[in-house]
């Protein structure tokens, strides 16, 4: 750990994890690593906001003790109980067992459920304040952004919002500030983070941001739990979240498929040609979901106005890679998007019906009954795929 001054008596004391490649178990890909951001506020009273993931607990606490004698920490703030935020709490509290831990009521449930410890919990709710001696921490509950226990806190005087998982991204960087890193990389990780983690809660995201804005608190810096700290034009990411939360879509159609003996792949490519022939401006992307990173695919679905999903029929069902991505899509509850289906078959041909049922359950607006082609597409089958794509370019608008 290196202590890095953020503003006045506020410092970053977290951990950069350059090696991280999978997160939430194996559910989320982190191609660019991540950070676990922990913050130390040293006013008349000293507050520590969040810790780091469990594998780094001993390293974190040892390094923190080199920054400040641990018994000088007056308050521990747990904005979120998930273990990438709270994993070092057991080691920290073993050394300072009587210090109060401030969190939401659901935060107590989460921390007790994971660590089975009865620490000195202090439950806070929106509007509660903690006086640090001149400056105050103001707490704002943020349930389902993205867990029921989540909260923000705001430091008066320095005008810093500690935003927990909101506005973050899995992005390792020694720079640690938004204005110093590669902007394309940063925004790619931001939209991926939102698409894969926060999309199901979009109605709550928009509502909570507007609620925080209504408090009329000046925000000069947003300190996230993962990735960069927003010090340059921090409202930029807030505006992006409001945009993403409002049934976001670009002029893009994404085709998802898997294939056994190339028939469905051939269909996908000629459907894409048909779409493009009717609309030169639309961005068409194809993904064989058995060969693609699922979180990158989900990000493209999030950006799309419509998707086209294909699978051959196997054992009167669909291929497992397609079934898997459809399960992900269902849980994310994308809104305001359209969909169509296709697939090749040799005997029974149920795949398009099954695909449609999955997408209807995920609240996509279905376009037509889909396209089935028998065996490997011949010239007639290829023509059907091309014409199917031509029609979809308008229907998926």
3-state secondary structure 251-272: CEEEEEECCCCCHHHHHHHHHH
Q: Provide the angle, in degrees to the nearest 10, between the axes of the packed helices 379-395 and 263-278.
A: 50
Residue 273 bears catalytic tag: no
The confidence score (pLDDT) of residue 397 equals: 84
CATH of the domain at 55: 3.60.15.10
Backbone angles phi and psi of 187, in degrees to 5: -70, -30
Which residue is catalytic, options 24, 175, 250, 380?
Answer: 24
Q: Which of 212, 244, 276 is the last residue of a domain?
A: 244
Residues ≥6 apart with Cβ < 8 Å to 261: 312, 376
Same domain, 276 and 339: yes
CA atoms within 13 Å, Cβ hemisphere of 302: 27
The confidence score (pLDDT) of residue 236 equals: 94
Residue 165 bears catalytic tag: yes
Residue 270 bears catalytic tag: no
Residue 84 bears catalytic tag: yes
Nearest Cα neighbor of 95 from 40, 57, 55, 124 is 57
Q: Which residue has the tokens 């507050």?
A: 47
Give the pLDDT of the chain (397 residues) as one tens digit per residue: 578 999 999 999 999 999 999 999 989 999 999 999 999 999 999 999 999 999 999 999 999 999 999 999 999 999 999 999 999 999 999 999 999 999 999 999 999 999 999 999 999 999 999 999 989 999 999 998 888 999 999 999 999 999 999 999 999 999 999 999 999 999 999 999 999 999 999 999 989 898 888 888 899 999 999 999 999 999 999 999 999 999 999 999 999 999 999 999 999 999 999 999 999 999 999 999 999 999 999 999 999 999 999 999 999 999 999 999 999 999 999 989 999 999 999 999 999 999 999 999 999 999 999 999 999 999 999 999 999 999 999 999 8
Same domain, 30 and 119: yes
Same domain, 262 and 231: no
Q: What is the DSSP letter of 158?
A: T
Same domain, 280 and 380: yes
Same domain, 229 and 139: yes
Same domain, 266 and 233: no
Q: What is the DSSP letter of 197?
A: I
Nearest Cα neighbor of 298 from 161, 185, 198 is 198
Same domain, 232 and 263: no
Which residue is catalytic, options 39, 50, 80, 102?
Answer: 80
Q: Which residue has the tokens 């909260």?
A: 151
Same domain, 104 and 221: yes
The confidence score (pLDDT) of residue 384 equals: 97
Q: Which of 200, 228, 244 is the last residue of a domain?
A: 244
Locate 137 and state its tokens.
């921490």
Which residue is catalytic, options 50, 91, 165, 258?
Answer: 165
Which residue is catalytic, options 36, 74, 141, 146?
Answer: 146
Residue 146 bears catalytic tag: yes
Same domain, 222 and 256: no
Same domain, 212 and 259: no
Look at the chain and report how many structural domains it folds into.
Answer: 2
- Residue 232 CB: number of other CB atoms within 10 A? 12
Which residue is catalytic, options 17, 43, 74, 82?
Answer: 82
Print the domain residue range for 136.
4-244
Which residue is catalytic, options 102, 154, 193, 257?
Answer: 193
Same domain, 52 and 176: yes
The confidence score (pLDDT) of residue 134 equals: 87
The confidence score (pLDDT) of residue 168 equals: 96
Which residue is catalytic, options 17, 43, 50, 84?
Answer: 84
The confidence score (pLDDT) of residue 1 equals: 57
Same domain, 240 and 273: no
CATH of the domain at 266: 3.40.50.360
Which residue is catalytic, options 85, 170, 226, 358?
Answer: 226
Q: Which of 216, 244, 272 is the last residue of a domain?
A: 244
- Residue 175 CB: number of other CB atoms within 10 A? 11
Residue 193 bears catalytic tag: yes
DSSP-derived 3-state class of residue 17: strand
């Amino acid at each position: 750990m290196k202590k890095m001054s953020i503003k006045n008596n506020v410092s970053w004391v977290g951990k950069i994890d350059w090696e991280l490649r999978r997160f939430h178990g194996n559910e989320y890909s982190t191609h660019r690593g991540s950070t676990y951001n922990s913050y130390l506020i040293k006013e008349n009273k000293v507050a520590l906001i969040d810790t780091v993931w469990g594998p780094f607990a001993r390293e974190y606490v040892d390094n923190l003790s080199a920054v400040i004698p641990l018994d000088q920490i007056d308050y521990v703030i747990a904005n979120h109980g998930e273990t990438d935020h709270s994993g070092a709490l057991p080691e920290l509290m073993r050394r300072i067992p009587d210090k109060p831990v401030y969190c939401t009521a659901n935060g107590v449930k989460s921390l007790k459920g994971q660590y089975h410890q009865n620490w000195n919990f202090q439950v806070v709710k929106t509007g509660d304040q903690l006086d640090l001696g001149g400056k105050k921490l103001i707490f704002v509950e943020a349930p389902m952004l993205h867990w029921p226990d989540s909260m923000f806190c705001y430091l008066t005087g320095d005008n810093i919002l500690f935003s927990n998982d909101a506005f973050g991204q899995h992005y390792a960087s020694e720079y640690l500030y938004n204005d110093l890193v590669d902007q394309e990389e940063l925004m790619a990780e931001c939209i991926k983070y939102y698409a894969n983690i926060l999309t199901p809660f979009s109605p709550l995201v928009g509502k909570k941001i507007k609620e925080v804005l209504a408090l009329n608190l000046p925000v000069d810096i947003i300190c996230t739990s993962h990735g960069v700290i927003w010090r340059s034009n921090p409202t930029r990411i807030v505006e992006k979240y409001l945009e993403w939360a409002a049934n976001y879509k670009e002029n893009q159609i994404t085709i998802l498929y898997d294939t056994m003996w190339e028939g469905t792949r051939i269909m996908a490519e000629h459907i894409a040609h048909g779409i493009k022939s009717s609309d030169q401006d639309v961005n068409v992307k194809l993904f064989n979901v058995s060969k693609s990173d699922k979180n990158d695919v989900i990000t493209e679905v999030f950006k799309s106005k419509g998707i086209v999903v294909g699978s051959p029929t196997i054992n009167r069902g669909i291929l497992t890679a397609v079934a898997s991505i459809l399960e992900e899509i269902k849980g994310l509850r994308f809104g305001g998007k359209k969909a169509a289906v296709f697939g090749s078959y040799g005997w029974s041909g149920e795949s398009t019906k099954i695909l449609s049922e999955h997408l209807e359950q995920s609240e996509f607006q279905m376009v037509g009954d889909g396209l089935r082609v028998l065996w490997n597409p011949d010239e007639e089958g290829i023509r059907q795929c091309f014409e199917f794509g031509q029609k979809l370019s308008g229907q998926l608008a």
